[in-house]
Amino acid sequence: MNAFPAFILSGIIAAMAVPASAQTAESANGPKVTYPAFNDGSHIHGPKLKTSDLKGKVVFFEYWGINCPPCIASMPHLQELQEKFQSKGFTVIGSHSQLPSPRVKQFLEEKKITFPIYQSLSIPEAPCPGGLPHAVLIGANGKVVAKGYPPQLYDLVKKEVMKMERGLPILEGVELNKYKSLAKTVVSTGSNIESKITPLRKKTNDEEAQAVCEAFDAWLENTKEIVQARIQSDPLEAVTAIMRLKTAVPSVKEFDEPLAALKANRDLSKLADLNKKISALEQRKAKGRKISESDLKSLTQAVDKFTESDNEATQTAAANLKKNLSSLAAPETPGK
């Protein structure tokens, strides 16, 4: 008797799997993830990624398979999340975790999926436990927020994106007693956080004060890496990120030169204005209102003028806006 082909067997197992409850965890307590190598050989569909692209982003990483009915059913919802939050520092990444098949790319193209899909990638700190689909939500600080059956994680995405927009908490995971007033210390416009930390550095015999300083230093190092990545991958967001960091930590001077260069780039100023218009259309679409083809066409033509620029920052910013416009042009997903 011939054995079932592996891909059929894997599909049956996935379909029979009982969805595990989402295992939620505080961002500070979840492990920091090591993203896999996004090689061209494993790329199936959508934008190609570099690990640096994910620095400071909220990521919804889903293990799925073409022969798994619940996986297929989740795709429109993942696309909806991508369209709603990608302009706010969020992305979905799909890891096709069954045997390779030409049906995968065909399906993704038919459904007009715009987020990146790779073959058989895994996060070492949060591997797939067996049943599909399985999702891992990763906060902007690179730590696991929650993992489990994808629909149980959808509502957490907005929470993580909002947390990122408010500013990453600096003292997550630090047990505070004497310095409870610092518990909500976050990066926020108009707040000089450094001035609150500096006096504590002198209290060398105060363990709690030193724990606060160590947490601040770790946060600052991580934030500098995020800002540097933003300069390379998202010049428009980089301006905001640098100014926010300089407000929080005035002693940081290393980004003064790149900030001056970005501000002096008149094309970026024009692209920032176009980005506001694109964001307005994204909000319109999120509310279920129709977007006119003429608006999309005029914005696309306006952005196209910058794609051939000799300036790398201008090229990168224009390419990012083109991706956002492509998502806007995608048809509404069922149930929206």
Over residues 59-118, the pLDDT tens digits come to: 999 999 999 999 999 999 999 999 889 888 899 999 999 999 999 999 999 999 999 999
112 with 139, same domain: the answer is yes
Q: Are residues 132 and 154 in the same domain?
A: yes
Share of the chain above pLDDT 90, in %: 56
Within-domain flag for 334: no
Residue 29 lies in a domain: no
Answer yes or no: is 10 within a domain.
Answer: no
In terms of domains, do 133 and 44 share one? yes
In a domain, 320, yes or no: yes
- What is the C-alpha separation between 291 and 293, in angstroms, rounded? 7
Within a domain: 6: no
Same domain (yes/no): 67, 158: yes
Determine, yes or no, domain membership for 235. Answer: yes
Among 144, 163, 182, identify where a domain stops: 163
pLDDT digits (tens, 9 = 90+) for 152-172: 999 999 988 887 776 666 787
Residues 121, 46 within the same domain:
yes
CB 144 within 8 A of CB 33: yes
Range of the domain at 304: 267-329
* Structural domains in the chain (count): 3
SS3 category, 148: strand
Kindly state whether residues 154 and 70 are assigned to the same domain. yes
Last residue of a domain, one of 112, 130, 163: 163
Last residue of a domain, one of 163, 198, 231: 163
Residue 121 CA: distances (Å) to CA of 39, 59, 94, 105 = 10, 14, 9, 16
Residue 31 falls inside a structural domain: no
Same domain, 60 and 159: yes
Q: Do both 122 and 72 map to the same domain?
A: yes
Angle value at C-alpha 119, between 113 and 125, nearest 5 degrees? 105
Same domain flag for 226 and 325: no
**Joined tokens for residue 71:** 């996986």
Residues 271 and 318 in one domain: yes
**Are 156 and 177 part of one and the same domain?**
no
- Whether 192 maps to a domain, the answer reads yes
What's the pTM?
0.67
Question: What are the tokens at 47?
Answer: 């934008």
What CATH number did the domain enclosing 126 receive? 3.40.30.10
**Gap between the Cα atoms of 208 and 230, Å rounded:** 33
Please indicate, yes or no, whether residues 102 and 187 belong to a single structural domain of this protein. no
DSSP letter at 152 equals G
For the chain, the three-class secondary structure string (H helix, E strand, C coil) is CCCCCHHHHHHHHHHHCCCCCCEECCCCCCCECCCCCCCHHHEEECCCCCHHHHCCCEEEEEEECCCCHHHHHHHHHHHHHHHHHHHHCEEEEEEECCCCCHHHHHHHHHCCCCCCEEECCCCCCCCCCCCCCEEEEECCCCEEEEEECHHHCHHHHHHHHHHHHHCCECCCCCCCCCCHHHCCCECCCCCCCHHHHHHHHCCCCCHHHHHHHHHHHHHHHHHHHHHHHHHHHCHHHHHHHHHHHHHHCCCCCCCHHHHHHHHHCHHHHHHHHHHHHHHHHHHHHHCCCCCCHHHHHHHHHHHHCCCCCCCHHHHHHHHHHHHHHHHHHCCCCCCC
Per-residue pLDDT of the chain (336 residues; tens, 9 = 90+): 444 344 334 443 443 444 444 444 333 457 889 999 999 999 999 888 988 889 889 999 999 999 999 999 999 999 999 988 988 889 999 999 999 999 999 999 999 999 999 999 999 999 999 899 999 999 888 889 999 999 999 999 998 888 777 666 678 778 889 998 887 777 665 688 899 999 999 999 999 999 999 989 988 988 898 888 889 888 998 998 899 899 999 999 999 999 999 999 999 999 999 999 988 888 777 677 888 889 999 999 999 999 989 999 999 999 989 988 887 776 654 444
